[in-house]
Structure 1
Amino acid sequence: MTSRTSPGSGRRRLDPGRAGRWFVLPAAALLLFFFAYPLGASLWQSLFRTEGGVTSFVGLGQYERLFSDPLIAKSLLNAGLILIVQVPLMMALAVGLAYLLNQSWLRWRSGFRLLTFLPAVTTLVAYAVVFRVLLATDGGAVNQMLGVLGVAPIDWLNNEWWARVSVIAAVTWRWTGYNMVIILAGLQSIPPELYEAARVDGAGRWQTFWSVVLPQLRPVLIFTGITSTIGALQLFDENFILTGGGPNDATLTPVLYLYKVGFRQFDFGYASAIAWMLVLITAIIAVVQFRVMREKP
């Protein structure tokens, strides 16, 4: 009696694991070529110095140079000031706007949300150029409005103090709506039962906001806080277009200094060391923020 075999018994079965590796291979190759290799190359390049067309291995010499460079200290100070002032201000505005736009009694909520988010879809260069025109000392729209109110023109972009204010104002205008949308999504995910329980307990609006809303928003606030901090430490476009890092390096940031060292002085080894210093500082601040803001067990 002849035994029957199933139609597919003679075919080779496809290993799901092997097939999955083939699907992952293109993404892994792109990640290796465009991320891992440049990362390793910049770290290797930071160990060399080029002088007079001669490249020599200096080990950690470029990193030792960071501690004696006054512009590194100045750029970190400027970034720290922007971080301390701009990020809390932007986060407070984003939370306030999100909470307001989440209220059912507010009319035309969709339109207000769109208007608030519009700055986030403008290109960095375009909005920085617009701010440069608006803040021009002679003929700028801001100084013209101040003149109507009887206020003397302010040299927004050529005074150290006001240049920092201008950069902070521009960055806050650009990114508040972006963070507001993320926080608004977090607000809409809060169960209505929590509001009802707070209302039954006699909690007012402020008590509900402080005891219910903010604790529920903790994961969202951690995310937006960390991303905003990283963005503040990596500022480049606004400073480059508005002030060029001036006046007197008052708005010079680490990334802008890295650009000047690498693409104007062509000292790519030192520029790579600056980049790795910035990566380390950003990672440390992000870890500290996460541990401070994370929910306690």
Structure 2
Amino acid sequence: MKLRKFIPYIFLAPAFSIFLIFIIYPGVLGFIVSMYRTPYSFGQSVFVGFNNYLSIFETTSFLDALLRTFLFSLLVVPTIYCFSLGLALLMTSPSVKAKSVLRVFFFLPSVLSGVITALIWDWMLNYDFGFLNNLFTVLGLRNLPFLLNPTYAFLSLVLIMSWAASGFFMVIFIAGIQSIPQELYEAAEIDGASTFEKFTFITLPMLKPTSILVIILSTIQSMQLFDIPFVLTGGGPGESTTFAVEKVYNTAFINLNMGLASAMSFILFLVFLTIGILQFKVSREGQFLA
């Protein structure tokens, strides 16, 4: 009987060990490192307490990157939501043929690595030999500096991120739409409801839990974005596409300031934790009300 009490803990031990080794231990170690000033030569570290955290607020570069990350998420999340929901509605429409082929086509960008995605769009958006600018030349239009203008580069990343992620969230929306009882649509048709009314008063309300899940996952994914802007724009022009995660990377491995980078990472962790808790509360309330 005593052994049976420990059986659940035995099964939990591998997962807990992995969580302890790869999550808890690095997090605690990172917080300890944030209390030190590490010289560029990686010599003897000097304990500075919370001075690294104070220096973050004295110099606005990381705060600007964090604000830029929030702005990016505010643009990307609604775009992904609309794209993925639109594709899901298209893929569940009875009038659309070859749905299996189209689903694979739309889902394919989400399985590509960020590096491959960045290289594809670098070829598409290049000012001198990019596909889009060559098409503009053929049409008699002037070339656009997609990756050379700060505003264009930022908006290009919004569209690229939306293109890369929408296929994955399309699958989630398809599952949500297919779980809606067809009797609701049949009753609405009997009452003379239009297609728009059925979408507004049946589909959207019934997709509330799915919508919350999509918003949570896309927010986390957009705020952690690193590989695509790092490869495609290098954070430029200037720092117009340098987001919070890349700022931490540059501070640690370009400026070789591990203490300051660890402090930035811990602040970023607190921001993500706050957002996650808020979204979790909204998710619980949304499931209760759905």
Fold shared, TM-score > 0.5 on shorter chain: yes
From 133, 142, 147, the counterpart of 1:152:
142
1:177-192 alignment runs, 5 A limit: 177-192=167-182
Q: Is the 8 A contact 1:135 1:157 kept in 2?
A: yes
**Mapping of 1:37-76 within 5 angstroms?**
37-51=25-39, 53-76=43-66
Q: 1:24 is matched by which residue type in structure 2?
A: L
Q: Structure 1: how far apart are the matches of 2:24 and 2:282?
A: 30
- Structure label with greater radius of gyration: 1
Matched residue, 1:253: 243
Instruction: Summarize the Cα distance change of 1:25–1:282 in structure 2 as closer, same or farther, 3 Å threshold.
Output: closer
1:35 and 2:14 equivalent? no
**Cα distance, 1:291–1:201 mapped onto 2, change above 3 Å:** farther
Displacement of 1:236 in angstroms is: 0.6
Higher relative contact order (CA 8 A, sep 6+): 2
Query: Which AA in structure 2 matches 1:181?
Result: V
In the alignment, is residue 213 of structure 1 matched against residue 203 of structure 2? yes
Any gaps of 5 or more consecutive residues in structure 2?
Answer: none
Counterpart in the other structure of 1:15: 3
Q: 2: distance between equivalents of 1:69 and 1:198?
A: 58
Aligned to 1:120: 110
CA distance in 2, matches of 1:198, 1:66: 57
Shift of 1:85: 1.4
Do the aligned residues in 2 keep the contact of 1:93 with 1:176 (CA within 8 Å)? yes
Match of 1:131 among 121, 128, 137: 121
Report deviation, 1:234: 1.1
CA distance in 2 between counterparts of 1:209 and 1:200 reads: 15
Structure 2 equivalent of residue 88 of structure 1: 78
Q: Let me know the Cα RMSD of the aligned residues.
A: 1.8
Partner of 1:204 in structure 2? 194
Q: Which has more helix, going by share of residues?
A: 2
Write the letter of the residue equivalent to 1:108.
A
Q: Distance in 2 between the 1:200 and 1:47 partners?
A: 68
**Aligned pair count?**
285
Alignment partner of 1:15: what SS?
Answer: helix
- Residue number in structure 1 paired with 2:276: 286
Aligned to 1:4: none
1: CA distance, partners of 2:179 / 2:222: 28
How far apart are residue 144 of structure 1 and its match?
Answer: 0.5
1:159-204 deviation digits (Å, cap 9, x = unpaired):
1111112211211110011111111111111111221222233321
Query: Alpha-carbon deviation of 1:227?
Result: 1.2
* Distance of 1:106 and 1:287 partners within structure 2: 40
1:140 aligns with 2:130: yes
| Distance in 1 between residues matched to 2:280 and 2:13, nearest whole Å | 33
TM-score by length of 2: 0.92
TM-score by length of 1: 0.90
Whether the 8 Å CA contact 1:239–1:245 is kept in 2: the answer is yes
Q: Which residue of 2 aligns with 1:168?
A: 158
Displacement, 1:97?
Answer: 1.0
Structure 2: how far apart are the matches of 1:230 and 1:259?
18
In structure 1, the gaps of 5 or more residues are 1-12
- 1:105 pairs, out of 72, 95, 105, with 95
**1:238 is matched with which residue?**
228
Q: In terms of mean alpha carbon deviation, does 149-158 or 110-119 score higher? A: 149-158
